[in-house]
Structure 1
């Protein structure tokens, strides 16, 4: 009797439109097209363990479910966020029951990077024995986040964010099947695509929000202005501690090194918009100044430090302008990694070299005994010499060859430094040093 009053829940749009066949999948043509790796894997007739690596909302769970359907396997899904070794063992017991009934099991672990080493190790014997076919999904680089033993037993497939055209295909499908009453003008479509950021699930959620808002306003024409007022718009795709974070930091640093002010500004603003800590960015900007500009333009260090201090004083959003102008200056400044290279070479030498004695003439002599031992004897005070330079003098250990680590580049201030060094070397040669 109570069944009469039960109302079946309406599935979310993303679930209602989840593909049921491989041909229904939108996107990932580099894997699913004719002759492509995953298509061939499906056509082989035999499932294999795999790791699906890609950003959120690109079809990792869908592909795992389609794999189970294609090979007529039982499907067990675990979330690494909520599951542990106990859940893995329970899933294996269930897989053994399936096997007793003549059915193979696919074990899908979402966010596999959240499992620690012992949890990942717990999967190994079952994957090796063939009791289950393991499929993991991750937004993080498996090379860093998945145990090498588990990684060696699974094929890694890299999934990509959906393109603008693919999201438009998804919109057409949603209109055909569920949202036929809605019409979107071109600006509205562009707005939805921009905020979806290649994430199909987010795109469909935005469409669902649009539909809910339309019902209350009784209009079927969606404009960009309507979307701005009606939707709860999420931040861009960004992971403050994962691959995406370090990829964007790398892009920012390389844009500065490559003298691209627009590229540097783009990546800085992408990270600020995505929620990166501006204080962290300020520290990285200071590092860029020392690593890639160095003594070719010492003003770059000052500007980078001033920008960091300005942000500390003003905070967001006002202080972000200082960071933006700092990366512009660093991008257009003369570049040199001569000081960076010299420091690294010197550190590498010292770490592997023996402990050499300080030459006697360079030693301090604060006591009578030290003076009697010759400490500081024959030391030449540079300020009393012509050009304030003790030509021919040596400042390295007596048994060490002059290393010439610092090699200034012919750019910016370092071109002048190179001229100065050449002049001093000539004085050394004339003095027989």
Structure 2
């Protein structure tokens, strides 16, 4: 078990046991119910399953430096505490939000001193992704020497937020949001535990109400215990029973988990975009509602929907772009919540209508040719000749006015620089309006090839 490093002091007349009880009562329920052994942790069955690599390492006390990546309340801090307990190491914690480089250096110096005395230190760095590169680099030599067992916790993708040097020295363990059923187990345990939980208060709650709290906590065990603690306080006035009416007060105006600038944000907009592309209006509407519910700026969603109309619907249904722009304008005029419906309608339409990325792909090919061929001269026949000199230089010579040609198209006239020859970028798909566009262009391209081969105007 972990070495006890904390000390307690008081006046001569203090009763230590009474002080301990009083202080314990001041701690939040979520802190009091923090698991003291791996078997008490809920969720994380994949990561901490019996016989798993991490569990064997922890139980043997041979822990390694690591990054714990997962949503809030999934047990990152608890796991770090258990690492120190099983490894019989000192535990120190700092927060990247509250700590600067001087404090980091002080903590590392203390760890080095303990290391020289033969004691190990588990250094837990909460929200490590908020440290800049210089601050992250400060840990590297201490990790390499074994001065500290580094445990960084982050809610953001380490691949993007942590520098490669730190990642190369740590194993990344992915932790998952805890399921409502597992959270309910923790809530029941807290209700029945007389030592650390609410058992001494004799508060009761049905499993269905506990499941409501667990669901509302959205995978966050700490949040669930906080909600239960509030419900228990209200229940004291109702004979100690948590009722549906009590719970309705506790869960009013709750919010779902959403980070407007983090990976979760980009995961959800990706889900919305791909649902539209997959012609699934139901899932598209769900992710749209999720993002609005999480506080996403509707103007951002309007911009992304307009992009989808261009990128994924394109010329298969040109109406989609106009509808997206109109909905954006409608939202600007109405605001929320009325304007939200205009955007929702566009979500449904974009997901339901014909899809084509032909214009998107054609544009990318044209850009690639621009980069490859550089600054090519405009063919003389395509240049204007407003002056006598320009006419003498051959500007506009040989140009055929398409409206005067048979069928309205001068078939043997190229539109590309001579060094490139004819190119074909736009390949319409056989969906929506592009069926007709494809048929027309296929006919014209065949006639152009015939005209260039025969040297005639398409006859």
Short-chain TM bin: over 0.9
1:193 — aligned with what? 214
Note if contact 2:306-2:321 (Cα within 8 Å) is conserved in structure 1: yes
TM-score w.r.t. the length of structure 2 is 0.90
Where does residue 146 of structure 1 map in the other structure?
A: 162
Per-residue CA deviation, residues 374-429 of structure 1 (Å, 9 max, x unaligned), is 11111111111222111121000112132211110000001110001012123324
Q: 2:191·2:203 contact (CA, 8 Å) conserved in 1?
A: yes
Identify the residue that residue 179 of structure 1 maps to in structure 2: 198
Corresponding residue to 1:356 among 369, 373, 376: 376
Q: Mean Cα displacement is larger for which, 326-335 or 346-355? A: 346-355
Following superposition, the deviation at residue 186 of structure 1 comes to: 5.4
Residue in structure 1 matched with residue 403 of structure 2 by the alignment: 383
Instruction: Encode CA deviations 1:261-287: one digit per residue, 9 max, x unaligned.
Output: 011001000010011111001100000
- Cα contact 1:311–1:323 (8 A) shared by 2: yes
* 1:54 aligned onto 2:65: no
1:336 aligned to which of 352, 356, 368? 356
1:315 is aligned, of 331, 335, 338, to 335
- Structure 1: how far apart are the matches of 2:190 and 2:259? 29
1:202 matched to which residue of 2?
A: 223
**1:75 touches 1:108 (CA, 8 Å); kept in 2?**
yes
- Partner of residue 33, structure 1: 49
Q: How far 1:145 moved relative to its partner? A: 0.4
Structure 2 equivalent of residue 425 of structure 1? 445
Size of the aligned set, in residue pairs, is 432
Q: Which segment is superposed worse, 50-59 or 92-101? A: 92-101
Query: What displacement does 1:88 show?
Result: 1.2
Query: Match of 1:19, SS?
Result: coil
Where 1:248 maps in the other structure, the secondary structure is: helix
Residue 163 (structure 1) aligned with residue 179 (structure 2) = yes
CA distance in 1, matches of 2:223, 2:153: 18
Counterpart of 2:259 in structure 1 is 239
Q: Which residue of 2 aligns with 1:266?
A: 286
Q: In structure 1, how many angstroms separate the alpha carbons of the residues matched to 2:97 and 2:432?
A: 52
Q: CA contact under 8 A between 1:182 and 1:222: conserved in structure 2?
A: no
Distance 1:69 1:235 in 2: 34
Residues 184, 211 of structure 2: 8 Å contact kept: no
Structure 1 CA distance for aligned equivalents of residues 40 and 449 of structure 2: 78
State the distance in 2 between where 1:234 and 1:327 align: 26
Structure 1, unaligned runs of 5 or more: none
1:289-321 Cα deviation digits (max 9, x unpaired): 111110000111111111111111111111111
Assess if the C-alpha contact under 8 Å between 1:294 and 1:338 holds in 2. yes
Task: Kindly indicate whether the alpha-carbon contact (under 8 Å) linking 2:61 and 2:83 is maintained by their aligned counterparts in 1.
Answer: no
Q: CA deviation at 1:217?
A: 3.8
Alignment partner of 1:72 out of 88, 108, 121: 88
Instruction: Give 2:26's aligned residue.
Output: 10
Pair 431,26 (structure 1): closer, same or farther in 2 beyond 3 Å: same
Structure 1 counterpart SS, 2:124: strand
Distance 1:117 1:218 in 2: 55
Instruction: Supply the distance in 2 between the matched residues of 1:11 and 1:307 (Cα, whole angstroms).
Output: 50
Q: Counterpart in 1 of 2:237?
A: 216
For residues 90-122 of structure 1, the C-alpha deviation after alignment (integer angstroms, 9 at most, x for no partner) is 001211222233211111100000000110011
Distance apart, 1:365 and its partner CA: 1.4
Of 319-328 and 229-238, the range deviating more from structure 2: 229-238
Cα deviations across residues 204-240 of structure 1 (Å, max 9, x unaligned)?
A: 11111111111234451421x4322244543100000
Secondary structure of residue in 2 paired with 1:319: helix
CA distance in 1, matches of 2:150, 2:208: 43
Cα RMSD of the aligned pairs, angstroms, is 1.7
Indicate if the aligned counterparts of 1:195 and 1:233 stay in contact, CA closer than 8 A: no
Whether the 8 Å CA contact 1:210–1:231 is kept in 2: the answer is no
Provide TM-score, normalisation by structure 1: 0.96
Q: Partners of 1:119 and 1:304 in 2: how far apart?
A: 45
> Residues of 2 paired with 1:384 and 1:185: CA distance?
84
- 2-structure distance, mates of 1:350, 1:37: 53
Task: State the shift of 1:3 in Å.
Answer: 4.5
Deviates more, 1:80-89 or 1:346-355: 346-355
CA–CA distance in 1 between the matches of 2:239 and 2:331?
A: 47
Specify whether residues 189 and 172 from structure 1 end up closer, same or farther in structure 2 by C-alpha distance, changes over 3 A only.
closer
Q: Contact 1:209–1:231 at 8 Å: present in 2 too? A: no
- Answering whether residue 394 of structure 2 is matched by residue 374 of structure 1, we say yes
